[in-house]
A = this chain, B = another copy of it.
Amino acid sequence: MAGPNVDGTERSTQRIEAFSDGVFAIAITLLVLDLRIPAGEGSDSGTLLNAILGLWPSYFAYGLSFTMIGIYWANHHYLFKLFAKTDHGLNLLNLLLLMFIAFLPFPTHVLGTHWPEEASRPAAVTFYALGLLLPAVAWLLVWLYASHNRRLVMPQLDHGFVHKLTLQFLGTVAVYALAVAVSVLDHRWGLAMCTGLTLLYLLPPRTPVYRRSNEPSRVKET
């Protein structure tokens, strides 16, 4: 659309956001493919109803992961609006993030399918918590790369705000790592942590703070 940049790299974050949006939308919609009545069940209305109701762990996992990916979608846009530009390194780290987002349907499937067997719950929950930890780690890497020495973030972004976000994303990784550890010890508390964190992330994100200097309107449209 725009002509070529002299150095052939993409400066604007627009295309990387569109691609990421595509992956988010596809991953979130693929979750439904894991909802299946087990073969051979449901030959009459009573057993079919039981089979449908018996999938509640899968519905729960579906709802949880759908919400999680939806939050990542919203927050991804929030984050990339803080970036003034992109570069090759950010592209690669963003690809890592997408790799982990696109991976989420698998632990979701494992959680939904194996929860009914009580003996396999600890492994299923731990794997699910790990599935949530991985994108949180990639997210932190994206942020650290972009904000280090203010490499890619908007120049007028407030220093304290950048620092606060760093702490917040570090904290997210820490609590998901804790959720993995807790899941090993007690899968109920582990799942409760995963659910609680997802609900927590439904809260609106922190309002960005831009530096105020003598010039009042520093927030420029790019």
Contacts and interface: CB of A to CB of B under 8 A. Distances in A.
Contact of A99 (B2, B66, B222): B66
B4 A82 contact: yes
Contacts of A214: none
B42 A120 contact: yes
B29 A26 contact: yes
Contact of A48 (B67, B88, B124): B124
Interface stretch (A16-24, A137-145, A171-179, A188-196): A16-24
A61 interface: no
Contacts of A49: 123, 127
A142 to B, nearest CB: 14
Q: How many copies does the complex hold?
A: 4
Contacts of A102: 28-29, 31-32, 66
Interface in A12-52: 12, 14-15, 18-19, 21-33, 35-37, 42-49, 52
How many residues of A sit at the interface, in one of the four size bands?
A: 35 or more
A3 B85 CA distance: 11
A21, A42, A117, A123 interface centre (most CB from chain B within 10 Å): A123
Interface in A194-222: 202, 204-208, 210, 219-222
A160 interface: no
Contacts of A205: 8
B99 A63 contact: yes
Nearest to A110: B37
Contacts of A6: 208, 210, 219
A103 B52 contact: no
16 contacts: A1-B14, A3-B81, A8-B78, A19-B73, A22-B22, A22-B25, A26-B26, A28-B98, A36-B109, A42-B120, A42-B123, A43-B119, A45-B124, A52-B127, A62-B99, A70-B95
